[in-house]
A and B are shown apart, each in its own frame.
Chain A
Amino acid sequence: MATETTLISKSLEKGEKSPIINILSKLWGTIKRRYKKQFILIMGLLVFVLILEILTALPGMTDPKYILFDGVKYHSEYPPSWKYWLGTNSTSQDVALLILHGTKNSLYFGIGCALISTAVALVVGIFGPFIGGVWDTASSFITNIAMVFPQIPFILFISSLMATRSWVTVMLIIGLFSWPWAARAIRSQVLTLRERNFIKVSKMSALGNMKIAFSEIIPNVLSYVILVFSISFGIGIITEAGISMLGLGDSSGNFVTLGYVLWYHQTEYILNQNFYHIWLSPGIVLTLIFLIFYVIQSSFIMTFNPRTRENM
Chain B
Amino acid sequence: MNSLEMNVIEEEDLKTSFLDEKTRAQKIVGNSFLRLILRKLVFYFLVFFIAITLAFLIPRLVPGSPLYYIRDLSGSINPVDAAIIIAELEALFGLDLPLWNQYLIFLEQFFLHGNLGVSINLPTIAEPVFDLIAPRIPFTLMIVIPALIITFFVGNWVGAWVGYKETKPRKVVYYTFLIMGAAPFYWFAYVLTDIFVQYLHFFPPFTSTPEFSFDLAVILEIMKHYWLPLILMVLVNIGGWSTGARSMMIYERGSGYILYSQKLGFKESKLRKYAYRNSILPQFTGLNLNFNNMIGQTIILEFVLFWPGLGSLMISAFTQGDYAMIMGTFIIIILVIVIGNFLIDLSYGLLDPRIRIGGSE
Contacts and interface: CB of A to CB of B under 8 A. Distances in A.
B198 interface: yes
B358 interface: no
Interface string A37-76: 0000000000000000000000000000000000000000
A283 B337 contact: no
Interface of B: 1, 43-44, 46-47, 50-51, 54-55, 58-59, 62-64, 66, 68, 71, 166, 178-179, 182-184, 186-188, 190-191, 194, 198, 206, 243, 247, 250-251, 253-255, 288-289, 292-293, 295-297, 299-300, 303-304, 314-315, 318-319, 326, 330, 333-334, 337-338, 341, 361
Contacts of B289: 147, 181
A247 B300 CA distance: 11
Contacts of B186: 241-242, 245, 262
Given A262-B187, A273-B194, A305-B247, A291 B182 contact: yes
A245 B304 contact: yes
Nearest to A287: B183
A254 interface: no
Contacts of B292: 148-151
Contact of A152 (B68, B179, B251, B295): B295
Given A153-B314, A247-B319, A311-B250, 9 more contacts: A148-B292, A150-B334, A157-B55, A163-B68, A242-B184, A286-B184, A294-B182, A298-B247, A308-B247
A214 interface: no
B64 A163 contact: yes
A311 B251 contact: yes
Contacts of A279: 187, 190
A311 B251 CA distance: 8
A84 interface: no
A198 interface: no
B18 to A, nearest CB: 37
A129 to B, nearest CB: 13
Contacts of B251: 305, 307-308, 311
Contacts of A148: 44, 47, 288, 292, 337-338, 341
B141 to A, nearest CB: 15
Contacts of A311: 250-251, 253-254
Contacts of A286: 183-184, 187
22 contacts: A144-B361, A145-B50, A148-B341, A149-B51, A150-B334, A152-B293, A152-B300, A153-B334, A156-B299, A157-B58, A161-B59, A161-B66, A162-B64, A238-B184, A241-B184, A242-B186, A283-B188, A298-B247, A307-B255, A308-B247, A311-B250, A311-B253
Contacts of A271: none
Contacts of B183: 283, 286-287, 290
B317 to A, nearest CB: 8
A2 interface: no
Nearest to A297: B243
A65 B238 CA distance: 37
A162 B318 contact: no
Nearest to A237: B184
B49 to A, nearest CB: 10
Contacts of A152: 293, 295-297, 299-300
Contacts of B46: 145
A156 B314 contact: yes
Contacts of A246: 300, 303, 315, 318
A185 B236 CA distance: 24
Contacts of B68: 161-163
A269 interface: yes
B64 to A, nearest CB: 5
A24 interface: no
A204 interface: no
Contacts of B51: 149-150
A312 B289 CA distance: 27
Contacts of A188: 1
Interface string A128-162: 00000000000000001101111111101110111
A280 B179 CA distance: 15
A201 interface: no
A174 B248 CA distance: 30
Contact of A160 (B250, B304, B326): B326
Contacts of A291: 178-179, 182
A165 to B, nearest CB: 10
Nearest to A312: B250
B44 to A, nearest CB: 7
A28 B44 CA distance: 42
A246 B341 CA distance: 26
Contacts of A248: 318
Contacts of B255: 307
Interface string A287-311: 1001100100010010001011011
B288 to A, nearest CB: 6
A269 to B, nearest CB: 6
Contacts of B63: 162-163
Contacts of A269: 190
A245 B44 contact: no
A158 B51 CA distance: 13
A287 B179 contact: yes
Contacts of B361: 144
Nearest to A289: B182
A179 B237 CA distance: 21
A282 interface: yes
Nearest to B345: A148
